[in-house]
Amino acid sequence: MSFYDVTQNETPDPNVLYCFILGLPLPFSTRLPSLQQPVSNSQITQDKAYLWLNYCLLLELQGDIHECNEMYETALSSTCKASELCKLWVGYAEFICRQIEQNTDNTGPSNQLLHIITRSITSMPTKFHPAWCEDRLQVNYNHVNGLIDYYLCRLPSNDHMTMLEKYHHMMPDNVDLLIRTCEEGLRRGEYYRVSSLTNTAVYDQVANIDFWKMVVSLKLREGRYKEFLLFEVTQKDEEGVQKILSESEEYGLNIKGFVATISS
């Protein structure tokens, strides 16, 4: 309403105003108030993502769920900017979450929400022209990773590792996502799973200090188990040896070669 020159005596249909300002079809006989004097097309373009979100929310409040769903799809096809797409996908996901919450029969994330999550992540632009060189493209996963972090907050914690691994396999060169996946695995104590995730990146010589800190810590953990095992062998504590062997197998640490060496 604030974009239009509307007096208190006039009560235009807000749906019609949104349709006009967003470039949606309107009947030929529709009469619209003029825009406020300071409002320019550049300002409307700058606020376009928020106008789409406001219109979709209005349709949801009016109970027109089908039309609301259609407007989110239309909004997503109206822009190619990563920052605007990110806002629209988050708004769309929140809309789906509200529909799930209203359905008391739903006990877990619906297929529709998972479909929206996958679509948003796979369609989000990841290559951009850096400011210092318009002739080159630079890979940037910041918007994608922001969406993934947001979606994880909406999913049960038990599903986090599975979802992170799924999207890491879709984007193997997304180093930040790899680190996020490994951190989740370490938090769960799944060391073998984390070690297998890092193997390919080690051979690719990923240029990320946080990744190499994690790899070194995993190797140090394996080395400490060897020291513990050697100590128990020198003490001739058979029960302690068996405990270390079982724990090392549980964590996925390969110390069989070391065991064979000290046994001989």
DSSP codes, 8-47: TT----HHHHHHHHTT----TT---PPBPTT--HHHHHHT
Q: Are 50 and 81 in contact (CB under 8 A)?
A: no
Residue 258, pLDDT score: 63
Residue 227, pLDDT score: 63
154 vs 77, higher pLDDT: 77
133 vs 126, higher pLDDT: 126
Identify which of 26, 28, 35 has the alpha carbon closest to the alpha carbon of residue 6: 35
pLDDT at 181 over 60: yes
Q: Are 143 and 82 in contact (CB under 8 A)?
A: yes
Lowest mean pLDDT among 39-48, 112-121, 157-166: 39-48
Average pLDDT of span 225-236: 67
Q: What does the block give as tokens for 212?
A: 């190499």
Average pLDDT of span 43-47: 75
Residue 217, pLDDT score: 76
- Answer positive or negative: Cα dihedral of 18, 23, 27, 28: positive
pLDDT at 107 over 60: no
Residue 214, pLDDT score: 84
Q: What is the rounded CA–CA span in Å between residue 65 and residue 79? A: 22
pLDDT at 90 over 90: yes
Residue 69, pLDDT score: 94
Residue 72, pLDDT score: 96
The type of residue at 142 is N
Lowest mean pLDDT among 81-85, 103-107, 163-167, 196-200: 103-107
Structure confidence at residue 4 as a pLDDT band (50, 70, 90): low
Structure confidence at residue 45 as a pLDDT band (50, 70, 90): confident
Q: Are 177 and 145 in contact (CB under 8 A)?
A: yes
Neighbours of 171 (CB within 10 A): 19
Structure confidence at residue 3 as a pLDDT band (50, 70, 90): low
CA atoms within 13 A on the CB side of 94: 12
Structure confidence at residue 77 as a pLDDT band (50, 70, 90): very high
